């Protein structure tokens, strides 16, 4: 579903070049829930922004559903962001002037889809994520967890290849954070969604199938969950200590 081959990216500050991502390669399969962890400055956000096509990279390839998205023009990238990727941001990025259901429909409106069909899809997603009772409310009238569930539903409405999330639980209390993780787990199990999430939170990451640990712009290690969640979390905490 998502494949990276030798991704390399540097930032230039003055005349000095900093290698930020050094030949990153990995694959995320359909229906997998994968987290990226690692120390501050290890390149997690840069990695996510490269996959999102928000920033250019110098070398390597990113394949999305088999299509190489490296070097496409801006118009083509905008289509990919709208139709092949779903985004969940730390600060929700819901539009205040639109109701919950309208926010969920937004990616379909942008893609110029049929209004009746999009309403059916949006209502289904509201059902799946338990937000039907608040669908006519506005973002200012709902809780943090409800906002984030709305954001997850919006990310899913175009049936993207991958949902990308940068610190989706970062601004939330533990109950709302749990609601977000539960909605990712549910998106995976009920809708076969593929989720790729950057997080500092070992608790959130312990719900994933796999965790890719970055260090100094390289894949330091990958951990696959085979044991129960609590043991997996211990293993993550242990790995991140080093
Ligand atoms: N636009 C930029 N120009 C120059 N250097 C940058 C830029 N953005 C990030 N960097 C540098 O690249 C490195 C990786 O940054 P990145 O934001 O990807 O880290 P991160 O792993 O997401 O960190 P955090 O956990 O703090 O969010 C850091 O050393 C950072 O200072
Ligand atoms: Mg970051």
DSSP string of 181-233?
A: HHHHHHHHHHH---EEEE-S-HHHHTTSSEEEEEETTEEEEEEE--S-HHHHH
CB-neighbour burial class of residue 120 (10 A; exposed 0-12, middle 13-18, buried 19+): exposed
Rounded to 5 degrees, what are φ and ψ at 217? 75, 10
What interhelical angle do 115-128 and 100-110 show, nearest 10? 130
Residues 98, 41: Cα–Cα separation, whole Å: 35
227 CA to centre of own chain: 24
Task: Give ion ligand 2 contacts, CB < 5 A.
Answer: 44-45
Identify the pLDDT of residue 170.
84
What DSSP string describes 85-121? Answer: EEEE-TT----TTS-HHHHHHHHHHHTT--HHHHHHH
Are 26 and 219 a contacting pair, CB within 8 Å?
yes
Identify the pLDDT of residue 11.
92
230: confidence class by pLDDT, cuts 50, 70, 90: very high
What separation in Å is there between the alpha carbon of 35 and the centre of ligand 1? 18
Residues 6, 26: Cα–Cα separation, whole Å: 9
173: confidence class by pLDDT, cuts 50, 70, 90: confident
Give mean pLDDT, residues 90-99. Answer: 90
Radius of gyration of the CA atoms of the chain, in A: 18
92: confidence class by pLDDT, cuts 50, 70, 90: confident
Identify the pLDDT of residue 134.
97
What separation in Å is there between the alpha carbon of 116 and the centre of ligand 2? 38
Residue nearest to atom 16 of ligand 1 (CA): 43
Identify the pLDDT of residue 53.
81
pLDDT surpassing 90 at residue 70? no
User: What letter does residue 132 receive in the DSSP assignment?
Assistant: G
Give mean pLDDT, residues 13-28. Answer: 93
- Number of the ligand 1 atom closest to the C-alpha atom of 43: 18
Are 178 and 148 a contacting pair, CB within 8 Å?
no
Residues 238, 73: Cα–Cα separation, whole Å: 43
Identify the pLDDT of residue 177.
86
Identify the pLDDT of residue 4.
96
Give mean pLDDT, residues 104-108. Answer: 95
pLDDT surpassing 90 at residue 225? yes
What residues are in contact with ligand 1 under a 6 Å CB criterion? 11, 13, 20, 38, 40-46
pLDDT surpassing 90 at residue 107? yes
155: confidence class by pLDDT, cuts 50, 70, 90: very high
Count of helix runs (H) and strand runs (E) in the chain: 8, 10
Best probe residue, ligand 1, of 7, 42, 51, 215 (max atoms within 8 Å of C-beta): 42
Are 69 and 77 a contacting pair, CB within 8 Å?
yes
Give mean pLDDT, residues 172-188. Answer: 87
Identify the pLDDT of residue 196.
96
Residue nearest to atom 28 of ligand 1 (CA): 41
Average pLDDT, the chain: 92
Residues 100, 88: Cα–Cα separation, whole Å: 15
pLDDT surpassing 90 at residue 37? yes
198: confidence class by pLDDT, cuts 50, 70, 90: very high
Residue nearest to atom 3 of ligand 1 (CA): 11
Model pTM greater than 0.85? yes
């Amino acid at each position: 579903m998502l494949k990276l081959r030798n991704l390399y990216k540097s930032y230039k500050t003055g005349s000095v070049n900093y290698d930020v991502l050094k030949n990153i390669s990995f694959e995320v399969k359909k229906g997998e829930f994968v987290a990226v962890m690692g120390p501050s400055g290890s390149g997690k956000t840069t990695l996510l922004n490269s996959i999102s096509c928000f920033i250019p990279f110098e070398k390597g390839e990113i394949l999305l559903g088999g299509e190489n998205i490296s070097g496409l023009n801006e118009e083509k990238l905008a289509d990919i962001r709208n139709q092949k990727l779903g985004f969940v941001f730390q600060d929700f990025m819901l539009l205040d002037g639109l109701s919950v259901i309208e926010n969920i429909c937004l990616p379909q409106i942008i893609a110029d889809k049929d209004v009746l069909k999009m309403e059916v899809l949006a209502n289904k997603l509201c059902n799946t994520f338990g937000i039907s009772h608040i669908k006519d409310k506005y973002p200012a009238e709902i809780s943090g967890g409800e906002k984030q569930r709305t954001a997850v539903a919006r990310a899913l409405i175009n049936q993207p290849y991958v949902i990308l999330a940068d610190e989706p639980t970062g601004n939330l209390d533990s109950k709302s954070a749990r609601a977000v993780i539960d909605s990712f787990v549910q998106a995976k199990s009920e809708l076969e969604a593929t989720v790729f999430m950057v997080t500092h939170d070992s608790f959130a990451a312990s719900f994933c199938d796999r965790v890719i640990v970055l260090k100094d712009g390289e894949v330091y290690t990958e951990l696959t969950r085979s044991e129960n969640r609590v043991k997996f979390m211990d293993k993550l905490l242990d790995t991140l200590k080093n």
